[in-house]
Amino acid sequence: MTTPASSPLLIGCAAGFSGDRVDAAVAVVDTLVTRGGPAFLIFETLAERTLALAQLRRRADPAAGFEPLLDEMLRPVLARCLQHGIRIVSNFGAANPLAAARLIQAMARELRLPAPRIAVISGDDLAGPAHRALLRAQLGEAVDGLNLVSANAYVGAEAIAAALDAGAQIVVAGRVADPSLTVGPAMSHFGWRADDWDRLARATMAGHLLECGAQVCGGYFADPGYKEVPDLHAVGYPIAEIDREGDCVIGKADGTGGCVSLAGVTEQLLYEVHDPAAYLTPDVVADISAAQLTQLAPDRVALRGVRGHARPASLKVNVCHEGGWLAEGEISYAGPRAEARARLAADVLRRRLPALQLRVDLIGALSIMGDDGGALLAATPAGDARDVRLRVAATHTDRTEAERLGREVTALYCCGPAGGGGVRTSLTPRLNTLSCLVPREAVPARFDMLEDVQ
Partner 1 sequence: MSAAMVTVPLYQAAHGRTGDKGNRSNISVIAWDAALYPLLVEQLSEAAVAAHFAHRRPTQVRRYLLPGLQAMNFVLDGVLDGGVNDALNLDTHGKALSFWLLDLPVQIPAALVPLLRGPSGT
Residues that bind partner 1 (CB under 8 A): 47-49, 220-221, 223, 225-227, 263, 266-277, 288-293, 305, 320, 323, 326, 359, 361, 367-373, 375-376, 379, 391, 393-395, 430-433, 435
Residues 6+ apart with CB under 8 A from 141: none
Least distance from partner 1 to the Cβ atom of residue 27, Å: 24
Give the C-alpha separation, 57 to 413, whole Å: 37
Residue closer to partner 1 (CB basis): 114 or 429: 429
Sign of CA dihedral 419, 424, 430, 432: negative
Least distance from partner 1 to the Cβ atom of residue 288, Å: 7
Scored b (16 or more CB within 10 A) or e, 43-69 reads bbbbeeebbbbbbbbbeeeeebbbbbb
Give the C-alpha separation, 189 to 161, whole Å: 8
Residue closer to partner 1 (CB basis): 294 or 454: 294
Residue closer to partner 1 (CB basis): 79 or 273: 273
Residue closer to partner 1 (CB basis): 375 or 415: 375
Least distance from partner 1 to the Cβ atom of residue 371, Å: 5
Least distance from partner 1 to the Cβ atom of residue 272, Å: 3
Amino acid present at 149: V
Give the C-alpha separation, 398 to 429, whole Å: 11
> From its phi and psi, is residue 140 left (phi > 0), alpha (psi between -120 and 50) or beta?
left
Least distance from partner 1 to the Cβ atom of residue 119, Å: 29
Least distance from partner 1 to the Cβ atom of residue 215, Å: 8
Q: Is 146 helix (H, G, I), strand (E, B) or coil?
A: coil
Candidates 449, 452, 450; CA nearest to 163 is: 449
Residue closer to partner 1 (CB basis): 8 or 264: 264
Residue closer to partner 1 (CB basis): 175 or 359: 359
Give the C-alpha separation, 412 to 422, whole Å: 11
Q: What are the residue ranges of helices labelled H in 224-356?
A: 262-269, 338-352
Least distance from partner 1 to the Cβ atom of residue 276, Å: 5
Beta bridge partners of 317: 153, 436
Residue closer to partner 1 (CB basis): 34 or 435: 435
